[in-house]
Amino acid sequence: MRCDGVTDRLVPLGYPAVANYEVVEALVNTLKNTDDKFGVGLCVTEGTFYDGPLGNNNALWRDAKAKAIEMEASVLFVIASIRGIKAGAILNVDNYIFERLEEGEYKPHREIVVKGNEKMCKYALDAVISVPL
């Protein structure tokens, strides 16, 4: 979902921000052969991921069943589509945002996050070599 604050300046609002099917399929096929949990679905690229005085829409996105909230993917997808490039995304879900709000602090350098990022990069590299040109 395009809430990035950038793509509405590149294309009309009706233009979708979607990953290329072949890229998603390659990522799913790579992850199917692991013990790691994964999901496929809608994510929100939210320019206001971090709170400011106006707050954020995180509760709305939870209620809308978004799998994740992040800050970059829709821009990548729109620019890739415009230029005819295959693009996808793999996200390391490193915290549950509503627990973080209750705890009051985000800790991005925990060991589980670092290991998750390493795995994510490996899976992306493994997947990309199987995407047809």
State how far the Cα of 103 lies from the Cα of 39, in Å rounded to an integer. 25
Instruction: Check residue 101 and give its pLDDT.
Output: 60
pTM: 0.88
Q: In what order do the strands lie in the sheet with 68-70?
A: 2-3, 43-46, 68-70
Does the pLDDT at position 98 exceed 90? no
Q: With contact defined as beta carbons under 8 Å apart, do 130 and 88 qualify? A: no
pLDDT in tens, 7-61: 999 999 999 999 999 999 999 999 999 999 999 999 999 987 777 898 888 888 8
Domain boundaries, given as residue ranges, for the chain: 2-128
| Fold type of domain 2-128 | Rossmann fold (3.40.50)
Q: Are 32 and 8 in contact (CB under 8 A)?
A: no
Residue 102 in this model has a pLDDT that exceeds 90: no
Higher pLDDT, 104 or 59: 59
